[in-house]
Amino acid sequence: MTTGSLELKVTDPQKQISNPAEVGSRYTDAQKAKIEDAAKQFESLLTSMMLKSMTQSSSGLSGENNFGGGFFDTIFQNELAMYISKNRSLGVASILYKKLTGQDMDSKINGSQLTPLNNEVNPGFKLNINMPPIAPSSQSLDRLNKYEGIINSASEQFGVNKNLIKSVILTESAANEKAQSTAKAKGLMQLIDSTAAQMGVSNVWDPQQNILGGTKYLAQLLQKFNGNVDLALASYNAGPENVEKYGGVPPFEETQNYVKRVLGYLNHLNGVTNGTEQSI
């Protein structure tokens, strides 16, 4: 079910921002960096919406009745939009930036789009905000709500954004405390026995111990990778040794989809709206 629908027909995207106010250059370097990031995000968002509008008439990139097609269409559209914005820019971001600051955009800033997470607990965590929001099922959200108090406590204790904890739980177990994988990962945050022992978890099936142990491990990974959420999530899924081996998110389809799904849930919980939200 698509929770957000937006028809976009644009022949000249620059017309959408043809008359922004002239404010001149009155911003600090830090403010300019934020403006540049926001301008690039807007261009990527606009590109993504254009791609979605163009593919709707053909039942999406995956065709009709394709299991998971909506989710993977969203991922592909998002990746393509980021590639286009980074490598063959529409020029929208540059125009916005110059209109707001009176200066040309600094070409030295790359297109990784990693920005602070707006977390009062740890504002240094970084998030790839380009991932379109993904709405969890209502059933999984109902289950997740039971653990709100534990999640808040874990967030405060270990300095991890509570919505990130929730997004990992939703991805790992759909908030099912009895979940167990074929690899013997168990509980809400799918801890394997060795990790649970290292985190001081004596009963992996106890929701409080599982969430505290999983959050502690996630906090360690975030610290290890300097607050980079992408790398921490990849490590949570594939192990930090693989992230170090490949110098980034490993080229494993499962891990790459895992990171994107967690970020999609996170953007949904953070209230990010970009017209491409999917319910899966």
Give me the amino acid identity at 191: L
Give me the amino acid identity at 161: N
Average pLDDT, the chain: 74
What pLDDT band is residue 23 in, cutting at 50, 70 and 90?
very low
pLDDT in tens, 32-68: 667 776 777 777 677 666 666 665 555 555 555 544 4
| pLDDT given at position 95 | 80
Token pair listed for 211:
């969430």
Domains of the chain and CATH, by start: 13-111 (no CATH), 126-279 (1.10.530.10)
Token pair listed for 30:
């830090």
pLDDT in tens, 219-258: 999 999 999 999 999 999 999 999 999 999 999 999 999 9
For the entire predicted model, the pTM comes to: 0.56
Phi, psi values for residue 134, rounded to 5°: -125, 125
pLDDT in tens, 135-156: 999 999 999 999 999 999 999 9
Give me the amino acid identity at 268: H
CB contact set of 270 (below 8 Å; sequence gap of 6+): 118, 163
Q: Which residues are catalytic?
A: 172
123 vs 55, higher pLDDT: 55
What pLDDT band is residue 19 in, cutting at 50, 70 and 90?
very low
What pLDDT band is residue 80 in, cutting at 50, 70 and 90?
low
Separation CA 274–CA 18 (nearest Å): 21
User: In the chain, how long is the greatest CA-to-CA distance?
Assistant: 61
Would you tell me how many other CB atoms lie within 10 Å of the CB of residue 102? 13
The answer to whether the beta carbons of residues 199 and 233 sit under 8 Å apart is no
| pLDDT given at position 89 | 54
